[in-house]
Amino acid sequence: MSESGTPLLELSEVTLRFGGVTAINDVSFSVADKELFAIIGPNGAGKTSIFNTISQVYRPQEGDIRWRGDSIMGTRPDRIAKLGIARTFQNIELFPQMTVIDNLLTGHHVRMQRSWLAGALWFGPAKAEEIASRRKVEDIIDFLEIGRWRKHPVALLPYGFQKRVELGRALAMEPELLLLDEPVAGMNLEETEDMARFILDIQRELGISMVLVEHDMGLVMDIADRVMVLDFGTKIAEGTPAEVQNDPAVIAAYLGSEFASTSEASKT
């Protein structure tokens, strides 16, 4: 909760339908300041659809979504970004021919106040704002340890570093909440461990709240504060990682008895 006791983000009884298909069915949850909240479930469970409703790319037919206590239903996606909600994507959505620096600058554009004409003239306050923006981007490059790639087109970067750049672009938006859609998908063990370290540093050092969608259960159970489980768009469990991974409904729907046995063995 925030200092006022209000959740940073709150979804209340949200339902999203596409024709006769219900993608999200009466789902409620909240995210507190500086919390790392994970959403897990089988493919097609509605995890990314929840991200799209928070971003208001999709408009739920029922329920409410509140940001710091105020409803954001019907708000344009660009306004959602300006409120302080940024996201990454399951499939990399960078500008491949642009450099790392330029990709990150596109993220920080949402915080720029001067007009395009003032920026083109690059004089006075517009010049100072541009210099500050570049300084912000350089700080993120250092934070994510991608300095040697800073002037390379992102298409030339290894896959794991492209995922870091996408995370960096989201950070450049100066968010209060990050929506991370499968940030370690397709990564090897070393890349996954690096990304986990950056996610924890974002939470602990930058104080940014996160909602994480991920299929890597080892990662989720290691770093999440709380976990929500979806199955066919319906919430079937919510709690700490230990509570969720031992929930019979979760084991039956998603984790499987082998994961539960492994978890119990690791405690002994």
Tens digit of each residue's pLDDT (9 = 90 or more) over 100-134:
999 999 988 876 665 555 555 555 676 777 788 88
Q: What is the pTM of this model?
A: 0.87
Q: Name which of 189, 184, 264, 176 is nearest 220 in CA terms.
A: 184
pLDDT of residue 64: 97
Locate the domains of the chain by residue range.
1-84+175-268, 94-173
Q: Each residue of 50-66: pLDDT tens digit? A: 999 999 999 999 999 99
Q: Name which of 93, 106, 94, 103 is nearest 151 in CA terms.
A: 103
Say yes or no: domain 1-84+175-268 is CATH 3.40.50.300.
yes
Q: Each residue of 152-175: pLDDT tens digit? A: 999 999 999 999 999 999 999 999
Q: Each residue of 8-59: pLDDT tens digit? A: 999 999 999 998 899 999 999 999 999 999 999 988 889 999 999 999 999 9
